[in-house]
Chain A
Amino acid sequence: MPSPSTSPPEPAPLPPPKLYDIREAPTYATSSTTTWDDSYKNNSEIAIVIDNGSWQTRAGFSHDHLPRLTCPPMVSKYRDRKAQKTYTVVGNDVFADPNSRGQAKTPFDSNVVSNFDQMETLLDYCFIKLGVGEGGGGVGHPVVMTEAVCVPGYNRKMMSELLFECYNAPSVIFGIDSLFSYDYNNGKTGLVMSAGHTATHLIPMVDGKGLVNLSTRLNWGGSQSADYMLKLIQLKYPGFPAKLQSWQAEALMKDHCYVSPNYKEEVANYLRPETLLEKDRIIQFPFTETIKVEKSQEELDRIAERRKESGRKLQEQAAKVRLEKLIKKEQELAFLKTLQARQESDSKRDFKRLLEQNDFRDEAALEKSIRELDKTIRRARKQDVGPEDDAANNAPPTFPLLDIPDEELSDDSKKMKRHQKLMKSNHEARLRAKAEKEAERQRQEDLERADAAKREADLPAWLSTRHAARAAVLTKIKDRTRLRNELSDRKSLASQMRMKSIANLASDSPPSKKRRRGPNVPGSGATGGGGNGGGGGDDDNFGANDDDWSVYRNITMGTNSDEDEEDNELAKELKVIEDQLLLHDPDFDRNDTQEAKSDWRSSLLHAFTRGAREHDVDDQAQANQIHLNMERIRVPEVTFQPGMAGLDQAGVIEIAGDILLERISDQSVRENILKDIFLTGGGVAFKGFDERVRREMREITPAGSEIRVRRAGNVLLDAWCGAARFAKMEKGGWVTRGMWEEAGGEYILEHRLGNAF
């Protein structure tokens, strides 16, 4: 966008923006340097702890302080044709090869396991990595595993079957990840808010026991957020040169999004320049700089000269064509005038015949044609009709041959005479044109004088007329753009009118031209042109109004040089009026001009897509930039307002309010829960999440309530650590193989951090 020449004095130039890079693709190289205690493998007292999440699988021994294995639950099992073998690649390793990456699947559907074949492979991988079962015949350790809140019985049955039958686990505990996390952070009574990968859960806990029957799930988590982010960016930059990957959108979300403390207020001012400067994040994607071939000054000069030359030639040609047309029209006018003159001399009948011979209905038609022609000639004369030098500087050329009758001339001279005849009419036409131009100039000057006089006499009135004129031009421009846009849409009214016009013209083109009647004459078409008002008689008056002719323009589509010309003229007219207003109207300043209004500084969408700085379309670096502004708060906000993303559920705060104020009746319990609102899971890692929860909880709870909000020490790992500690400390809750055989697949012993049976 070129900077407008009339822009206000530039403010101090902005410092160059800070650019953020897009993250690298995930890789598989995750060689941990931590050394683990090998003796755990053979100690059958130590449990294996698996945090079986849909975002990450974490596995280790209960005596470890951290999980030994952390990987995405991705399983890629496929047959490689070239290698002629079946590959089974799991976890981070799937990113090693494009093939394995492409085939990678997750065993999860939402937050529960649905594909148990893949789950089995995933567990195989975990146990291989942990190095258990050297004695053969089973894992040889008790297993602690996390499961979804209120997981369907089918899933638990299948999982128990897998653990007991396939892996010969001696005993198993299932528990809920977020409750393990809360327990690990020494929570006893409070509300656990767990924002996971596929869902967000709220579970109240009283005296160390989770109240699973009061838990509520919001079907929105990290994966949905990342997807939302991806779609927002794709829609924001439809023609972005690089293809945005879903993992990139996820990384952008993690790196740049934050929870707004007060969404409504913050969002309203987000695209203001001062806010934008601070909040807009520019992400630079890799790009290749196209090297422009620098042209030397000589070359540039040569090109400019060539262009000028060809332009001049074109102008000359155009002028010549115009002149020829003008002459032709003048001749026609002269003929028509002689025709008219004969009205007096000839008899009525003869004259009528004469008219009919020349395709005129009656005198009125003839008169009209003369009038029209006169008008067009006048107009044409005002245009440039070729160089004037010969007329101005030289003595008028002589045409001696013209006065000699044809009979006295030789063939050559006859030819010469024809040429002279042409030259003469050219010369005369030019002279007439010049005179007309002079008169026009005079008229313009008179007008300007009159205008100035009017302005001096009554400034307000003059201003209002100018403003009205400006408004009229603006409407015209707007209408034209609208019409053009509508024509590109087949179903629009304008397009339909166009088709109608074409149909009319086509059906009426045979000689019955003059029989046309009825309301559907062209010209009442898209232009709404008048001129048909008096079309009651045989003649529909088509063509009486200049606008009628635009029907032909309406039916030609595509870029029309004619239209461009008209656009330019309108723009020029607007400029003139605005310049006048700038000069004389004290209330009209630069910011009011159309130019300033279409400037990027005042454009909301420019701020949205291109940030607070000017955008250079030719700059490759800028073409490969993404501006994150509204998205930074819009994406995490869905957890609080799920309706924004079309999810017809209450947000987390409303859910918390419902659980605390409606479903827990005991006043003292409620107060105790409010004192410990606990946030865990990857989704609460957004900056500002806890402040927002604190503020909004205060809004919905009775005045004076004591509210404390805290975050898990490690929002990702504490679930695993809690499960490990639970396995180490607690003795109850284990379902043994014998119990499982006795009580059936879905059976669990209820414990304080698990689901209810």
Chain B
Amino acid sequence: MAPPAAVPQTNTVLDELDITPHPRPFKNPNWKPPHRRTKTLKQILSDATRTAAAGEAGAAPATGPMQTTYANIESAPSLHPAHSKKWCDITGLPAKYTDPKTKLRYADKEVYAAIRLLPPGSAERYLELRGANVILK
């Protein structure tokens, strides 16, 4: 590296905590990290399904119980009718009504009046909390 033109301003707190120069005797000196090691979970899962599909197509069909994977241990949607209960988007109280314009659920007329006065975009954020917002692509 070329000699620095200016005197480096060191950060004394961080210098103490920095582990960059710390010796790492526990590491294999010949270790070279493989290329591109960062994959998002989504990528990993889709890769896994692809290999599984390819494996099934090529080899004999798998016998025995279905293999549990990260993707298929996910909980299924609720079938319990009680869980479709509606709650007020603003206050969290039980909601009897839905505003036809914003599609927000609300508990009483006072909350409705407040919904009418929401600044633009606010209704969308409330809906987003419930995963009911419309995303235009």
Segment of A152-160, A406-414, A460-468, A536-544 in the binding face = A152-160
How many angstroms from the CA of A136 to the CA of B28 in the assembled complex? 8
Enumerate chain A residues within 8 angstroms of B19, measured Cβ to Cβ.
88-90, 121, 124-125, 128
Enumerate chain B residues within 8 angstroms of A155, measured Cβ to Cβ.
44
A612 contacts chain B at the CB level, 8 A cutoff:
no
Q: A85, B83: Cβ atoms under 8 Å?
A: no
Q: B41, A649: Cβ atoms under 8 Å?
A: no
Enumerate chain A residues within 8 angstroms of B114, measured Cβ to Cβ.
605
Q: B26, A84: Cβ atoms under 8 Å?
A: no
Enumerate chain B residues within 8 angstroms of A158, measured Cβ to Cβ.
37
How many angstroms from the CA of A134 to the CA of B94 in the assembled complex? 63
Q: B27, A605: Cβ atoms under 8 Å?
A: no
Q: A89, B34: Cβ atoms under 8 Å?
A: no
Q: B17, A89: Cβ atoms under 8 Å?
A: yes
Segment of A525-533, A640-648, A721-729 in the binding face = A640-648
Chain A: CB-nearest residue to B116: A485
Chain B interface size band reads 35 or more
Q: B73, A604: Cβ atoms under 8 Å?
A: no
A115 contacts chain B at the CB level, 8 A cutoff:
yes
Contact of B75 among A216, A232, A645 (CB under 8 A): A216
A215 contacts chain B at the CB level, 8 A cutoff:
yes
How many angstroms from the CA of A216 to the CA of B77 in the assembled complex? 12
Q: Among residues 641 to 684 in chain A, which have CB atoms less than 8 Å away from a CB atom of chain B?
A: 641-651, 654-655, 658
- Shortest CB-to-CB span from A204 to chain B, Å, is 12
B137 contacts chain A at the CB level, 8 A cutoff:
no
Enumerate chain B residues within 8 angstroms of A605, measured Cβ to Cβ.
90-91, 110-111, 114
Q: B41, A112: Cβ atoms under 8 Å?
A: yes
With contacts A89-B17, A128-B22, A654-B83 known, is A267 near B48, CB below 8 A? no
Q: A649, B129: Cβ atoms under 8 Å?
A: no
Enumerate chain B residues within 8 angstroms of A168, measured Cβ to Cβ.
26, 28
With contacts A151-B70, A268-B93, A644-B130 known, is A128 near B24, CB below 8 A? yes
- Shortest CB-to-CB span from A129 to chain B, Å, is 9
Main secondary structure of the interface of B (DSSP, over half): loop
What total of A-B pairs shows CB separation below 8 Å? Answer: 219
- Shortest CB-to-CB span from A569 to chain B, Å, is 23
Chain A: CB-nearest residue to B127: A646
Q: A83, B17: Cβ atoms under 8 Å?
A: no
Segment of A93-101, A329-337, A370-378, A384-392 in the binding face = A93-101
How many angstroms from the CA of A149 to the CA of B8 in the assembled complex? 47
Q: B26, A133: Cβ atoms under 8 Å?
A: yes
Q: B70, A112: Cβ atoms under 8 Å?
A: yes
With contacts A96-B17, A216-B73, A218-B75 known, is A645 near B130, CB below 8 A? yes
Contact of B17 among A28, A238, A630, A646 (CB under 8 A): A28
Contact of B25 among A90, A134, A604, A642 (CB under 8 A): A134
- Shortest CB-to-CB span from A210 to chain B, Å, is 12
With contacts A158-B37, A630-B91, A630-B92 known, is A654 near B27, CB below 8 A? no
How many angstroms from the CA of A96 to the CA of B18 in the assembled complex? 11
Contact of B129 among A85, A139, A268, A645 (CB under 8 A): A645
A165 contacts chain B at the CB level, 8 A cutoff:
yes
Chain A: CB-nearest residue to B43: A114
- B4-30 vs A, CB cutoff 8 Å, 1 = contact: the mask equals 100011110111011110101111110
Chain A: CB-nearest residue to B39: A114
Chain B: CB-nearest residue to A268: B94
With contacts A84-B4, A232-B129 known, is A643 near B78, CB below 8 A? yes
Q: A650, B70: Cβ atoms under 8 Å?
A: no
With contacts A232-B129, A641-B83 known, is A154 near B39, CB below 8 A? yes
How many angstroms from the CA of A344 to the CA of B9 in the assembled complex? 105
How many angstroms from the CA of A137 to the CA of B58 in the assembled complex? 42
Contact of A83 among B9, B65, B87 (CB under 8 A): B9
With contacts A154-B47, A645-B131, A654-B80 known, is A97 near B11, CB below 8 A? yes
Q: A643, B68: Cβ atoms under 8 Å?
A: no
Cβ-closest 5 pairs across A and B:
A646-B131, A133-B26, A630-B92, A116-B37, A650-B78
9 contacting pairs across A/B (C-beta < 8 A): A114-B44, A135-B25, A152-B44, A219-B75, A235-B126, A235-B129, A271-B91, A485-B116, A646-B131
